C-alpha cells in the first residue's frame, strides 16, 4: 500500500484547509469520512453521482490541503480523514465544521 503525496502535519496551512472545507461537496465527503477511523472508503464510493473529472478535482483539493489522506493499493484508492493531524494543528476546527455540516447531510 502506498500513501499518496500530502502535506505533513507541520505543513498544514489554515487557508488551504478552510478553502477545501468551504465546498458543500467536500463537506459531505469529510462528514462521511468522519464516521470511521480507517481508510475504508474508495474515492468512487463517496462521490458516485459526479463525473470522474469533477470527483478527481474535489479529491485533489482535499488531499493537497491535508484534510484527507489517500492510500493506493494496486488500482484502488482509499481515503481517510486526517483527524489527528487536523486536531493537533487546528484544535476544534474539524469538530466545528462537522457540527455545522451535520444538519445539512441529514436531509
Residue from 41, 44, 37, 29 nearest 85 by CA: 37
Q: CB pairs under 8 A, 24+ apart, for 95-102?
A: 97/21, 97/27, 97/30, 98/30, 98/31, 98/34, 101/27, 101/28, 101/30, 101/31, 102/31
Residue 18: what pLDDT? 97
Residue 11, pLDDT above cutoff 90? yes
Global confidence as pTM: 0.87
CATH topology of domain 2-102: Arc Repressor Mutant, subunit A (1.10.10)
The structural domains of the chain, with segments of one domain joined by +, span 2-102
Work out the average pLDDT over 57-73.
Answer: 92
Residue 3: what pLDDT? 67
Residue 107: what pLDDT? 45
Amino acid at each position: 500500500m502506498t500513501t499518496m503525496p500530502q502535506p505533513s502535519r507541520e505543513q498544514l496551512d489554515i487557508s488551504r484547509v478552510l478553502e477545501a472545507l468551504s465546498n458543500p461537496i467536500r463537506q459531505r465527503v469529510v462528514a462521511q469520512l468522519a464516521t470511521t477511523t480507517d481508510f475504508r472508503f474508495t474515492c468512487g464510493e463517496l462521490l458516485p453521482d459526479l463525473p470522474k473529472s469533477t470527483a478527481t478535482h474535489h479529491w485533489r483539493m482535499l488531499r493537497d490541503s491535508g484534510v484527507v489522506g489517500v492510500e493506493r493499493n494496486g488500482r484502488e484508492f482509499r481515503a481517510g480523514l486526517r483527524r489527528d493531524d487536523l486536531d493537533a494543528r487546528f484544535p476544534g476546527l474539524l469538530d466545528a465544521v462537522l457540527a455545522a455540516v451535520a444538519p445539512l447531510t441529514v436531509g
